[in-house]
């Protein structure tokens, strides 16, 4: 387990742990997949002599909370403004993705390398590459793949401005901003649209074009028609 003080955003949420440990109701801990929500939920449950559970769409969470009024719930989404959150007075704690606290990656990698039997430093810089959609769990997987197979993570997408044509850069930038908003909203599309400053209809058009990494929805096509058209109609290089 990675020490809490090394986790992304720890300096922002760690000060609330003592209050949560004595809170007189259920606790909802949420963040992107692999961020450590389950680990922290179990730790808080042990401090309170209570139970912990990972939420899922198929479970009857209301019945579980009635049987475990001091229980800790781990989720990849914030509790909604209606329903359970109105019945049960949750205390909430939001954990951060690595993308929001890249400075934490070095400490996490050093700890995980020791935990996996390696002797850091040095570690290949590619292991700390962003984005890291699997967060802390993906960092551990990267260490294991490198230790066992010598594999390093491949870039998820071409860097902006490496291609010279505007069409490619706009396409990559659009995808990058969309996927980042979806990850930071934990799949909540209304919140993602608000982050991007667009309407829900525009968001669904973008998701159809680029996919949704949170829900595992693949992109509609590798190269949309507008990109091919822009490339086809590109002006010939200037010749003096």
pLDDT digits (tens, 9 = 90+) for 72-123: 999 988 886 666 666 788 899 999 999 889 999 999 999 999 999 887 668 8
CATH class label, 166-232? mainly alpha
Q: In the chain, what percentage of residues exceed pLDDT 90?
A: 42
- Confidence check: pLDDT of 201 > 60: yes
Mean pLDDT to the nearest integer, 187-199: 90
Secondary structure in 3-state letters for the chain = CCCHHHCCCHHHHHHHHHHHHCCCCCEEEECCCCCCHHHHHHHHHHHHCCCEEECCCCCCHHHHHHHCCCCEEEECCCCCCCCHHHHCCCEEEECCCHHHCHHHHHHHHHHHHHHCCCCCCCCCHHHHCCCCCCHHHHHHHHHHHHHHHCCCCCCCCCCCCCCCCHHHHHHHHHHHHHHHHHHHCCCCHHHHHHHHCCCHHHHHHHHHHHCECCCCECCCCCCCHHHHHHHHCCCCCCCC
Task: For residue 107, give both structure tokens.
Answer: 């400490």
Within the chain, what is the greatest distance between any pair of CA atoms?
A: 80
Q: Which candidate, 82, 63, 81, places its Cα nearest to that of 71? A: 63
At 19-53, the pLDDT tens digits run 999 999 999 999 988 999 999 999 999 999 999 99
Contact 110, 140 (CB under 8 A): no
Contact 138, 34 (CB under 8 A): yes
Domain boundaries, the chain: 4-96, 100-149, 166-232
- pTM for this structure? 0.65
Instruction: Please state, rounded to an integer, the average pLDDT across all residues of the chain.
Output: 83
- Confidence check: pLDDT of 200 > 60: yes
CATH class label, 4-96? alpha beta
Mean pLDDT to the nearest integer, 139-152: 88
- Confidence check: pLDDT of 16 > 90: yes
């Amino acid at each position: 387990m990675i020490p809490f003080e090394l986790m992304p955003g720890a300096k922002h949420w760690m000060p609330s742990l003592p209050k949560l440990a004595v809170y007189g109701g259920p606790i909802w801990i949420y963040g992107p997949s692999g961020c450590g929500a389950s680990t922290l939920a179990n730790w808080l449950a042990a401090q309170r002599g209570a139970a912990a559970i990972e939420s899922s769409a198929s479970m009857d969470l209301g019945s579980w909370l009635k049987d475990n009024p001091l229980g800790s719930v781990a989720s990849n989404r914030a509790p909604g403004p209606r329903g359970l959150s109105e019945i049960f007075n949750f205390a909430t704690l939001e954990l951060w993705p690595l993308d929001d606290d890249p400075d934490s990656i070095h400490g996490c990698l050093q700890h995980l390398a020791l935990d996996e039997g390696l002797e850091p430093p040095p570690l290949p810089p590619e292991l700390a590459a962003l984005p890291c959609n699997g967060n802390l769990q993906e960092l551990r997987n990267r260490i294991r793949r490198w230790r066992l197979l010598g594999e390093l993570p491949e870039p998820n997408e071409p860097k902006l401005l490496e291609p010279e044509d505007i069409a490619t850069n706009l396409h990559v930038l659009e995808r990058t901003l969309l996927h980042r908003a979806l990850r930071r909203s934990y799949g909540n599309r209304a919140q993602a649209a608000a982050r991007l400053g667009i309407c829900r209809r525009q968001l669904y058009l973008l998701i159809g074009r680029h996919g949704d990494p949170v829900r595992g929805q693949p992109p509609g096509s590798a190269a949309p028609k507008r990109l091919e058209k822009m490339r086809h109609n590109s002006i010939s290089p200037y010749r003096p």
